[in-house]
Amino acid sequence: MMRNALPVAADEWDGEAWAVAQARSVHAPALVARGDGALIFSNASATPFLAGSVIREPLRVRIAEAYGRDHSLVARVSLCGDDGQARRFDVTFLPLPDGKVLAIGREATIEANLIEALTESRSLFRDLALSAADFSFEADETGILTWVSPGGALGYSASELNGVRFAQAFGVDGNLLSARMPTKAAEVWCKGKSGIDCCIVLTLVAIASNRGVRGVAREVTALKLHERAAARTKRRDELIGAVVGAIRAQVEPRRMMLAAADALRGATESDRVEIKPANEDLKVCVGNAPSGGQGGLIVTTSYQARTNGSVSLIRNADGNPYGEEEQALLDAVVPHLGIAIAIAESLSAACCEPGSRKVSSC
C-alpha cells in the first residue's frame, strides 16, 4: 500500500499543500479531496465537478475507489452541464500518503460525441440497409465480405458469406466491386447457393477510409422472369398477328405463304425459313441456305386433323441455338400456318394458275 510503503514525516512533506499547489497551477479542472469525498480545494476550472461546494456524486464515487485501493485511477466521468447536456471528462485520481486525493480532468465531450456519432452513423447505415434491401454488406478492397446483414442472401446464411469473396460466392465478375464511383441500381445476374440463376439489383458506394465498398442488393428474379414471360407473350401475339395479317393481305396463294414465312423468320431471328405444303407447287423459302447450319426446328402443320405440311427454321452454325422460346413461338403459330396452307391450297386448286410467276425458289 502506498501509505505504508512511503512513510513521510509530517514536518518533511505536506501532501495536501503539494496537491493544492498542483491543482492551482493547471488550467484543466482540478480539485483536492479527502478520501471520503469532502472537498478541500478546487481551482477555477473545476466548476463542472461541483454542485455548489459539494463534489458531484460520480466524482465522489471514483475518489473513494482510488482512496480505498490506494492506487491511481483514470476514468471517464459523465456530468450534466448547466444547459442540461452531458459533458464528459477523462479524470486522473491520484491518492496521496496523507489520505488526500488529487483529481485532474480533461474534457472529452467533443471526442465522445464524435465517437457516438460515428457509431450511430454506422448503425444507421445498417438499419437503413436492412429495411431497404434484401441483402446489405461491406467488403474490403480485395472483394472479401467483412460484414453481411443477418439474413444472408440467395440461400446463403450470413456466416457462410462472411470472409468469402463476393465474386466467388455469387459467381460474378471479380471486378464488380472494384469501381470507385458509386453504382446505382445495376442489374446483375448471378448464382444462388442452389446454383439457380438469380437477378439482383446492386447499389454500391466506395469507402474512402479502407478502399472497400458498401452495398445493398435486392433480388428481382421473380420480376425479371415475369418480364421475360410477358415479352415472350408479346412476341407470340405479334407473330400470330403478322401471320394472320399476311394471310388476309395476300390473295395469290404462294405470296400468302411467302408473307407468312417472312413474318416467321423475323420473329424467330432465323437465317432461313421453309414452308412446305403437301402441294409442292406452294413450297416457299425465305433467306439463304446457311453453310454448316445448326440442326433447325421442324414442325408439321395440320388442318381438320389432317397433316398438310411442315415448317423448318434454320440458323447459321455460329448463331445461338434454338431454345424453348423459339419452340414456344413456333408451336403458337403452327395452327394458324395450318389454316394458311389449307387456304392457299384451296385457292390454288380453284384458280389453277398454269405458268404463274414463282415468287421464290428453294
pLDDT average, residue stretch 49-76: 91
Q: How confident is the model at residue 178 (pLDDT cuts 50, 70, 90)?
A: confident
Assigned CATH for 244-351: 3.30.450.40
pLDDT greater at residue 201 or residue 128: 201
pLDDT average, residue stretch 178-196: 85
Minimum mean pLDDT range among 24-28, 221-225, 342-346: 342-346
| pLDDT tens string 89-124 | 999 999 998 889 999 999 988 887 777 776 666 666
Instruction: Give domain 2-107's CATH number out of 1.10.1060.10, 3.30.450.20, 1.20.1260.10, 3.30.930.10.
Output: 3.30.450.20
Q: How confident is the model at residue 330 (pLDDT cuts 50, 70, 90)?
A: confident
For every residue of 253-311, which 3-state class applies, written as one string? HHHHHHHHHHHHHHHHCCCEEEEEECCHHHCEEECCCCCCCCCCEEEEEEECCEEEEEE
pLDDT at 94: 94
User: Residues with Cβ < 8 Å from 75, sequence gap 6 or more?
Assistant: 62, 90, 91, 93
pLDDT at 358: 45
pLDDT at 71: 86
- The grid coordinates listed for 260 are 407468312
Q: How confident is the model at residue 214 (pLDDT cuts 50, 70, 90)?
A: confident
Q: How confident is the model at residue 356 (pLDDT cuts 50, 70, 90)?
A: very low
pLDDT greater at residue 233 or residue 40: 40
Burial of 186 (0-12, 13-18, 19+ CB in 10 A): middle
Contact 30, 105 (CB under 8 A): yes
Contact 136, 215 (CB under 8 A): yes
Per-domain residue ranges for the chain?
A: 2-107, 126-219, 244-351
> What share of the chain has pLDDT > 90, as a percent?
21
- Residue 7 phi, psi (nearest 5): -70, 130
Mean model confidence pLDDT for the chain: 82
Cα–Cα distance for residue pair 347/338, rounded to 1 Å: 14
Residue 354 clears pLDDT 60, i.e. is over it: no
126-219, CATH topology level: Beta-Lactamase (3.30.450)
Question: If you search the block for the grid coordinates 423459339, which residue do you land on?
Answer: 326
pLDDT average, residue stretch 323-329: 82
Cα–Cα distance for residue pair 203/128, rounded to 1 Å: 13
Residue 181 clears pLDDT 90, i.e. is over it: no
- The grid coordinates listed for 171 are 459467381
Cα–Cα distance for residue pair 326/299, rounded to 1 Å: 12
- In this structure, the strands spanning 100-107 and 30-34 are antiparallel
pLDDT at 291: 65
